[in-house]
Structure 1
């Protein structure tokens, strides 16, 4: 799995001295300039004991720029060559450490670190910029250098809001040096992206971060749908970083709707091609699970009952309770609200998808979709109840990982089973349902 180091000064010992341009001023002069600049702020302190390289200065004697009012992020000034980048942060930047981001209020710009499956991002970049490219890109070769140059100079997947005149825009760019300096991040070989949100107007850092999360999460969800790129905003709870089927749209629009953060991150994790199919399926299912309380509350209100246990599933369930106290019935409510009969019928027009979902030999011991005798969907059939039963059945076979099998002795759907390798159709189905659920409960962005 991916691994992100925390605030570890030893990270910078691996970098060569020529990573930055040769310094034009002495180290002491650089420190004094930073002290003068930091004196204009109440939340920045420059710490240095006065030792210089010629006097036996070690890395532990380097000057440190500490942002005391932003949770303690700091920059170790390793060389005077770093001065322009540190000056930019100290002169006009406001750290947003919970998201590994920097806000520049005067420019109205936020740059934020991203984590995720960078291999998928590289593939999306190639599909977008070089649509005829058939082979994988050698990131160390000329083509990889071209892609890195494009990302650094112009960015990728840019969208802007023109209708309301706000001037907001979003794009992916290579990680800027000041972001790496502040959060001790690696540059990922030139192709690890960061998010740049422009046109931000906020009264303080807290509101700026809310804007970043609102627009950034929605943008990355849109990018995941359009290009299959599994990228997420940094969260301080992560221990994830960079590591080395479905058809996607090429359209990506400026966010109009705000999606819930946790489901969007789960959806992004489900898109990670490096994950096991069972893990990916569970991530998409967790999106549906997230909305079960909202769906149940809407059903309680619609049915005019006092308690959730008194409300019933919108689908007939012969032989068992229909109370919304059951997770399966709550899943019914999510699917019933998120997708229409016509939308499901449109999805199942894909003959290969329907054939797989209606074949009991592919994924056993779960609901299969009934056909018309010729292998096609039933005319006018409403498959939502059957789909809900199938999804919940797969869920049970995966999560009830107990010796001897799951409920009523149903065999497990194990990581190394044949069925785990044949989850492609069901991954597509649960991914589609997750998208629809997120869209249904999304809200308008201001």
Structure 2
């Protein structure tokens, strides 16, 4: 691929399969380029060399960054049907704003029940007709100058630009009749007015919506290479407890912090097993050392350090137990293959990490990455639960719905990969 992943083209929940640019779309592409040129909007074509596939995207403003919108296949035609030049994205949210038309439209999802269940409950309790799921709140005389609220099906503009699964007909919250001229002002309006209504809904209906947070997107082509997959009769048996944690993590796709921790707990389940094996090797080496003396305090201290038992029943501190588990269950070659097999993933881990994040030295082709992987996973685990990492603080706590939480996708993939390898390494023959 010709571009790096630094432009936020990845999705935390699922990959977006894009149809390739085709000859039949040349007229539409020419129109798109003409409109982008007139509006000074960047347009680019990205190539997937392995598949011989290309796709086009346009970069719309999103704060100081850009949000790239796919423009191939049906997405291209939908994009051309709306005045996309008018819109900016609100960074951190699946939301669009038109300064010219004075409105903000943001995706919402239901908590703790489904979005449609909340809409039906609202319709029933507010006396609306069945299947009438549009709700409008106008400001009263005492609130002149404040926005109009509208909850209902998404607009064509929102569906064409945001491109979430099920965007058409997806409920959104619109704030209308706004006077807004910059990104920070729009963000402040969205947070202030949306939170006021959504919390009131929570109190009134015992269920509410939350604003859809921005997702990191990863586009991939619909591959021309079809790989035959054949299921085989199972021969392995897996421990119930760690496997249930693995399934729990897989189900928590929209909750990145919870997902990461569940994969971590799946790995952590086996800490006692592998840390004790590591401790046995250390003790054997110490006792074989001809200079070791049982009557020397420093040697006894080294021995005690090797066999110190943690609260989980493992030997050593948590970081060393994680290292021991990763070293026992993965080999260095397959770990490097994991980083290199996906170009977006490789570019992410090779990029400059934020302060406090352990960097994996991928540029050193001969390096064994296992300890670095363990340290990075442990680093994120500590920042999520806000514990201390040895003598030093691991870094600032990662908050739910923060930008950093949304960009955990690649570290979640890494934790999942390690969890899979640990489950495989600890499996037994199916009885």
Q: Same fold (TM over 0.5)?
A: no
TM-score (norm 2): 0.40
TM-score (norm 1): 0.38
Higher strand share: 2
Q: Which has the higher contact order (CA 8 A, sep 6+)?
A: 2
